[in-house]
Amino acid sequence: MSELLPDVVAARLGGDMSSLSVVQRGRTVEARRFAVPEVRADEDGGVSMSGYATVYEFPYDVAGGPERGGWSEVIVEGACAKSVVERDDVRLLVNHEGLPLARTAAKTLTLASDAVGLRCDASLDRSSPLVASVLSAMERGDLDEMSFAFRVIRQEWDADYLVRRIIEVQLFDVSLVTYPANPATVAQVRDDVPAPSVRGLDLRMALAVRARLSI
């Protein structure tokens, strides 16, 4: 990840960027906590998960924000569009590793870049022991947060390297996570389909999601 950040930013972090990155397909990529997903029972008895892996044009702090040596970051509207159109092979994982719960190449995970952000819809196999474990943890409230992993293709920084705008990314995975890097999400198991909940969710982002979904 260090080659993606200006030297002055890496120096402010003391070279320790482990909390902001994961290794995917042998490459270190960035990870952010973003999605507002729901998991629910389908009419046919299956299980599906839907939500936004990232919300566009929503500023959030990374590594403590500018006041603590980090920076403020925005995913620019359309940043995921090229990766979606080119059908990059994206997995739905747990903690960015292990067997996938769903996958775009298998058509069990569908991605779409719209005015709100990166929309994800996944069909889960209820007979899978991994899915059963995940659903149990989510129903108990033990697993209720998400992250997504990406490689930055194009970006802009302000003159002080305190504000970063990510213009284009390559997508790697969306993951349910135990310890997310950025407090801005919640995942829930539900039988109905209400508006996104704000329980455990950063209130500013919850309001931003709801406002953009209503446009």
Average the pLDDT over each of 27-36, 83-92, 137-146, 203-212 and give the range with the smallest value.
203-212
Average the pLDDT over each of 32-46, 65-79, 89-103, 196-210 and give the range with the smallest value.
196-210
Sign of CA dihedral 174, 90, 5, 161: negative
Cα 142 to Cα 120: distance, rounded to the nearest angstrom: 22
Residue 143 has pLDDT above 50, yes or no: yes
Residue 190 has pLDDT above 50, yes or no: no
Average pLDDT over residues 145-170: 92
Please give the residue that has the higher pLDDT: either 116 or 109: 109
Average the pLDDT over each of 60-64, 91-95, 122-126 and give the range with the smallest value.
60-64
pLDDT for the residue 63 = 83
Residue 192 has pLDDT above 80, yes or no: no
- What region, left, alpha or beta, does residue 121 occupy, with left being phi > 0 and alpha being psi -120 to 50 degrees? beta
Residue 154: CB atoms within 10 Å: 12
Please give the residue that has the higher pLDDT: either 34 or 83: 83
Is the separation of the CB atoms in 171 and 111 below 8 Å?
yes
pLDDT for the residue 18 = 61
User: How does residue 48 score in pLDDT terms, banded at 50, 70 and 90?
Assistant: confident
pLDDT for the residue 99 = 93
Token pair of 37, please? 């997903």
Average pLDDT over residues 187-199: 38
pLDDT for the residue 24 = 73
Average pLDDT over residues 52-77: 87
Is the separation of the CB atoms in 104 and 195 below 8 Å?
no
Strands (E), the chain: 21-24, 27-32, 38-41, 47-55, 60-62, 71-75, 91-94, 97-103, 109-113, 117-124, 145-157, 163-177, 188-189
Do the strands 163-177 and 91-94 form a parallel or antiparallel pair, or are they unpaired? Answer: parallel
Is the separation of the CB atoms in 91 and 99 below 8 Å?
no
Average pLDDT over residues 87-91: 92
- Report the b/e string of 95-104 with b at 16+ CB within 10 A: ebeeebbbbb
